[in-house]
Structure 1
Amino acid sequence: MTRRKTSTRVDGEITRQRILDAAGKLFAINGFAETTSKSIAMEADVDLASINYHFGSRNGLYQNVLAAAHSSIINIERLNQITQNEQSAQEKLRAFIELLCNATRSGHEWQAQTLAREILAPTSNLAVLFQKELEPKLMIIRELLSEVTGIPSDAPQLAPCMLNVIAPCMVLLVAGQSVPGAMQETANLPQEQLIEHMYHFALSGLLAMGEHYRLTHLQQA
């Protein structure tokens, strides 16, 4: 009996993942509005009832696809490992930059494209993604950048710092190889060279903004 239950659970997990992968690829190509449950079922080679069984609805499936896509690029467990170790703030920053740069070359094509579509043409599901996936990760990243800069984690001045650090790698992830010129040249740099550049560029900017924040607050005191 136990063996049969285990086998059923494993089969269910395999089916669920197959639906998730099939849906992700179709959402990436066609977008949420143009991707039907029927087309997903055909791509995954399952019946329509399986989608509702595992995800509740097409909306529920899409939310899971967005969450899986974001998690494959920035994993919260890995973020916690980076920020909770005994390294210096600058060493943690380098590890975080390495995580972002590695994501640009990890074969996350449909994941990146699906997220890009949702950000450029947001649906009501973006709020769910932010609440469940982005917000907890951004809180961890804010604490890391606060440690590097000395700017309080709840200070508004830290928000553009976070954007400046994350955005270049996210742009490379979404469009690096497909856009000729500087974008493609950067995407084709040796990995270690790319990491070193992104790290030193980010660190210099963060330290400068930290100093600017301190000087501004000394003048106001």
Structure 2
Amino acid sequence: MDLSASPQTPAARAPRQDGQATRQQILETAGQLFAEQGYANTTSKQICENSKANNASVNYHFENKDGLYRAVLREAHDRLLRIETMITLSQSQDRAEDKLRAIVTVLIEGLANQREGWALKVLTRELLSPSSVLPEVLEEQAFPKAQIVRNILGQIMQLPPDDPATLRSAVSVFAPCLFLLIAHEPLTRHVLPGLALDPPALIEHMMSYALAGLAAVSRASTPV
């Protein structure tokens, strides 16, 4: 048997490993440029020069600039809160309140951990100035996550996930996270100096506020 052709040999694995490293280098470089300059102002030439990759490599891994930007947005969503994480949490045997706490914890800690990276900046830019790829990324990333959240909130309030009260409650519970994503830096600098993104304290505050609000909405929505 000719073992040199085996897919398990280092020689066979090396090209795949090198290709993955190249892909990740391009992705990281593009993420930083998109975060600093925005999608429209970032050129494929800049990405190639900064990542030390040629245009053929970009096209091979991402098809084109749109494909690369789409991959960057997906990666940014994953770094903040992976859909796989939410699915695992939602399918656990924990109480609905504990599932909500787990999701809020992952999200708030993600905001804190990614504060210095490019992921939050890319997402903020995209929310404030949407690109043509946003609808596809929302359908793939945001909508499934929103459905999981609505299911959990519906369980807490004993209401259907598509009940108007459940939908409004989802906005009320997670709007602060969106606000922190977009406005935390200017807010703490100009409006509320001294407001710190302290994950444990913020998680406790959000959960206390959310559970009290959900209980009130549930009572108001329950027929007498």
TM-score (norm 2): 0.89
RMSD of aligned residue pairs (Cα, Å): 1.7
Q: Is the 8 A contact 1:186 1:194 kept in 2?
A: no
After superposition, the Cα gap between the structure-2 partners of 1:198 and 1:149, relative to the gap in structure 1 and judged at 3 Å, is: same
Q: Is the 8 A contact 2:29 2:51 kept in 1?
A: yes
Q: Is the 8 A contact 2:79 2:114 kept in 1?
A: no
Specify every segment of 5 or more residues in structure 1 that has no aligned partner in the other structure, as ranges. Answer: none
Cα distance between partner residues in 1 of 2:95 and 2:32: 40
Please state how far the C-alpha of 1:152 moved relative to its aligned partner. Answer: 0.6
1:122 and 2:122 matched: no
Q: Is the 8 A contact 1:150 1:210 kept in 2?
A: yes
Please state how far the C-alpha of 1:112 moved relative to its aligned partner. Answer: 0.9
Q: Is the 8 A contact 1:176 1:187 kept in 2?
A: no
1:53 and 2:60 matched: yes
Counterpart of 1:185, as a letter, is G
Cα distance between partner residues in 2 of 1:133 and 1:188: 25
- What does residue 29 of structure 1 align with? 36
Cα distance between partner residues in 2 of 1:132 and 1:72: 15
Specify every segment of 5 or more residues in structure 2 that has no aligned partner in the other structure, as ranges. Answer: none
Cα distance between partner residues in 2 of 1:16 and 1:94: 35
Which deviates further from its counterpart, 109-118 or 33-42?
Answer: 109-118
**SS of the residue 2:94 aligns to:** coil
1:73 and 2:80 matched: yes
1:104 and 2:111 matched: yes
Please state how far the C-alpha of 1:178 moved relative to its aligned partner. Answer: 4.1
Q: Is the 8 A contact 1:69 1:115 kept in 2?
A: yes
Out of 149, 153, 157, which is 2:157 matched to?
149
**SS of the residue 1:63 aligns to:** helix
After superposition, the Cα gap between the structure-2 partners of 1:198 and 1:183, relative to the gap in structure 1 and judged at 3 Å, is: farther
Cα distance between partner residues in 2 of 1:195 and 1:182: 21
After superposition, the Cα gap between the structure-2 partners of 1:17 and 1:184, relative to the gap in structure 1 and judged at 3 Å, is: farther
Please state how far the C-alpha of 1:82 moved relative to its aligned partner. Answer: 1.5
Please state how far the C-alpha of 1:181 moved relative to its aligned partner. Answer: 5.4
Cα distance between partner residues in 1 of 2:194 and 2:158: 34
Counterpart of 2:110, as a letter, is A
Counterpart of 1:163, as a letter, is V
Deviation by residue 1:164-194 (Cα, 9 ceiling, x = unmatched): 22221232234324432565534343x3211
Q: Is the 8 A contact 1:176 1:183 kept in 2?
A: no
Counterpart of 1:14, as a letter, is A
Counterpart of 1:197, as a letter, is H
Cα distance between partner residues in 1 of 2:193 and 2:66: 35
Out of 196, 199, 209, which is 1:187 matched to?
196
Cα distance between partner residues in 2 of 1:201 and 1:105: 20
Cα distance between partner residues in 1 of 2:156 and 2:209: 14
- What does residue 92 of structure 1 align with? 99
- What does residue 219 of structure 2 align with? 211
Cα distance between partner residues in 2 of 1:90 and 1:181: 35
Number of equivalenced pairs = 215
Cα distance between partner residues in 2 of 1:71 and 1:195: 20
Please state how far the C-alpha of 1:123 moved relative to its aligned partner. Answer: 1.5
Q: Is the 8 A contact 1:103 1:173 kept in 2?
A: no
1:8 and 2:15 matched: yes
After superposition, the Cα gap between the structure-2 partners of 1:104 and 1:207, relative to the gap in structure 1 and judged at 3 Å, is: same
